[in-house]
Structure 1
Amino acid sequence: MLAEPGTLAVFGFGSGAPQHDDPRWLNIPLEGLEAPSPLEVWHVQGPVEHGREGALSWSAGEGWMFASLTLDERDFDDLRQAAAAAYEALGEFVVQRDEHHVLRLWNYLGAINDGDGDVERYKLFCEGRGDGMRSQFKHGFPAATAIGHHGEPHCLVVYLLACDKPGKRVENPRQVSAWQYPRRYGRTAPSFARAMALPEGDALAISGTAAVVGHSSAHADDPDAQLEETLANLEALLASAGMPSGFDTRSPLKAYVRRASDAPRIIELLNHRLPGVPVLALHGDVCRRELLVEIDGWRYV
């Protein structure tokens, strides 16, 4: 895949994924809940250049850019500093590029729900992300996902998709915008848009979406009901973006499932509710302890 023309990035999931030193290759420390997990590949219609800037890996072609960082939190005082360093490094690199419009970000960190109150790790990550962003997203946040992994506990993975043209941010009328969450969700509110319409208007990059209505989690300890609420939120996002209802075979999704024991039921329900839609089920912790499933992905026109 890396040898094929136009390959911008290739992602392998879990401990069984191959290893490669190409800057376009990234291991994601999330185990697949159905074996074997497929690789995810990003392609562009044209030549691709790639390289490294210190710990940062990147590739670019045809107006698109992939960039990633994998950091060891033990090299920093705490997760907040690690997250700030990751976002500072990515921001400093992106601002120098023609492809400086960040459309989509992914964040994977260990033990995302450890700690209580303001020192819960997800809340510390949000603080560090906010510190590292500075004024980079003063005109609006990109779409994003943040999920807890069960791999090396100190491993922080952040990667992005950027373009030489801006996208259009999309919010969900059923949900409070994340950056407007009340204080109880942390000293720094989560900094992301619910979705991002890509520049040509032919695709929607969907942020991590769960059973949140307004700003409150719904259906505690009921994975079936949480999945239905999540699907309702996805439909609301499509409508808000002016896209047709539903997903199809060209709309790949990821389902992050907190409890591996829930996976067979979640997969069964997804196959029933989204027939033919490619869904990659991964073992990952959602940013709130009470949330059992989250979905992100792409919707193409």
Structure 2
Amino acid sequence: MENLYLNAQDFAARQAQPYDNVLGLVRFSDRPDPSPLHPDIPVLHVPAKPLDGGDEVYNIWRSADPPSYRRQDAISYSITESLLWGCLSLSETGGLTQTARFAYDEILKLLARQGMPHFYRIWHYIPDINQSENGTERYRLFNQGRQAALQGAGLLARHSAAASAVGIGGAALCMNFLAGKRPPLPIENPRQVSAYRYPPRYGASPPLFSRASLVRAEGQSTLFISGTASIAGHLSLHAGDVRAQTRETLANIGALLDEANRLVGGKRLKLADLEFKAYLRHVDDAALVADELRGLLDAAARVRMVQAAICRLELLVEIEAVARWDPADDTAL
């Protein structure tokens, strides 16, 4: 399993080649959707502006084995012997809470039917995430719908998947997800309160996700690090200072790596082993964040940037990451 990012020019050149083993595509652009990219492969169009690589960036997910392409109602998905990759885009009907619950209910039914019951990673792109609706922030309304669906399915909070939730324009809730047969190992950050244990000040329904998850599939170990921000305990730090928030975020990712290394056993992950994606609230902060990352990471670090709102108004940057390696020495899975 792998994922790569291509700008529009490189993607256009690649379209002349076969889509061997492609699970799905995510297109990031604030420009209108192009004509259909492929008649079968699941494609999610996320209305968010890339801050590197031009006006369009394509995230391509590939598997080791050839997938089958299918559709169930609103969900386009691909499936192999051990993985299921899917996406959906839903206009809100009855409010965001109801839409989020419907989305999760449909996904959970699909995973159960296909024998892929375990979420590995979920991405949520939520319109107007920080806006208030009937006195409640929309991110909190989303969390209410997610919690209702997961609890209704009997899923425990401590088994929540690695996830990200950022704000976009447009009017549709966009999601893509990866699931499989084998349960992942959730990982929490000792520097932070687990999100599912946040106090009520952050909403009646806490955000149900793990800080990271360790997955073994297709003869490969993968560490998915959730969207991570400048939070210690449960408190946001460094309001208004995007450089300091970037440093704090990398400290949290470093703590997650330490915890993963403790659990994995043989493999010793380093920041240089990770591929990063950063979400920035403000376009003008891109150069500042890039400068901080250059000072904190290896010069060859792989970082993508996208403009998106973060789930708390005071947060300016959120960073997610992924690492892959040969599992021969792992003891955790």
Answer yes or no: same fold by TM over 0.5: yes
Question: 1:176 aligns to what?
Answer: 193
Task: State whether structure 2 residue 303 is matched by structure 1 residue 292.
Answer: no
Question: 1:137 aligns to what?
Answer: 155
Task: State whether structure 2 residue 263 is matched by structure 1 residue 244.
Answer: no
Question: 1:13 aligns to what?
Answer: 28
Q: Which of 282, 291, 307 is the aligned partner of 1:259? A: 282
Deviation readout 1:67-98 (Å, 9 max, x if unpaired):
1110001xx11111111110011011111112
| 1:290 counterpart letter in structure 2 | E
Task: State whether structure 2 residue 228 is matched by structure 1 residue 209.
Answer: yes
TM-aligned CA deviation for residue 9 of structure 1: 1.2
Q: Partner of 1:202: helix, strand, or coil?
A: strand
Q: How many residues align?
A: 296
Runs of 4+ that moved beyond 6 A: none
TM-aligned CA deviation for residue 159 of structure 1: 1.6
Task: State whether structure 2 residue 137 is matched by structure 1 residue 120.
Answer: yes
Describe the shift of the 1:270–1:48 C-alpha distance in structure 2 as closer, same or farther (beyond 3 A): same
| 1:88 counterpart letter in structure 2 | D
Quote the Cα distance in structure 2 between the aligned partners of 1:282 and 1:212: 20
Can you give the 5+ residue segments of structure 1 that lack an aligned partner in the other structure?
Answer: none
Question: 1:33 aligns to what?
Answer: 51
Task: State whether structure 2 residue 44 is matched by structure 1 residue 22.
Answer: no
Task: State whether structure 2 residue 69 is matched by structure 1 residue 50.
Answer: yes
| Contact kept? 1:118, 1:187, Cα under 8 Å | no
- What does 1:53-132 align with in structure 2 at a 5 Å threshold? 53-73=72-92, 76-115=93-132, 119-132=136-149
Question: 1:280 aligns to what?
Answer: 304
| Contact kept? 2:228, 2:320, Cα under 8 Å | yes
| Contact kept? 1:47, 1:62, Cα under 8 Å | no
| Contact kept? 1:11, 1:27, Cα under 8 Å | yes
Task: State whether structure 2 residue 208 is matched by structure 1 residue 191.
Answer: yes
Quote the Cα distance in structure 1 between the aligned partners of 2:177 and 2:290: 27
| 2:71 counterpart letter in structure 1 | R
| 2:26 counterpart letter in structure 1 | F
TM-aligned CA deviation for residue 259 of structure 1: 1.1
Which deviates more from structure 2 when the two are superposed, residues 15-24 or residues 285-294?
Answer: 15-24
Quote the Cα distance in structure 2 between the aligned partners of 1:59 and 1:136: 25
Task: State whether structure 2 residue 292 is matched by structure 1 residue 269.
Answer: yes
Quote the Cα distance in structure 1 between the aligned partners of 2:291 and 2:154: 41
Quote the Cα distance in structure 1 between the aligned partners of 2:288 and 2:243: 8
Deviation readout 1:13-33 (Å, 9 max, x if unpaired):
113464425342221221101
Quote the Cα distance in structure 2 between the aligned partners of 1:47 and 1:184: 46
TM-aligned CA deviation for residue 268 of structure 1: 2.0
Which deviates more from structure 2 when the two are superposed, residues 115-124 or residues 200-209?
Answer: 115-124
TM-aligned CA deviation for residue 245 of structure 1: 4.7
TM-aligned CA deviation for residue 247 of structure 1: 2.6
TM-aligned CA deviation for residue 178 of structure 1: 0.4
Quote the Cα distance in structure 1 between the aligned partners of 2:173 and 2:73: 16
CA RMSD of aligned residues (A): 1.9
* Alignment TM-score, normalising by the size of structure 1: 0.93
Q: Partner of 1:190: helix, strand, or coil?
A: coil
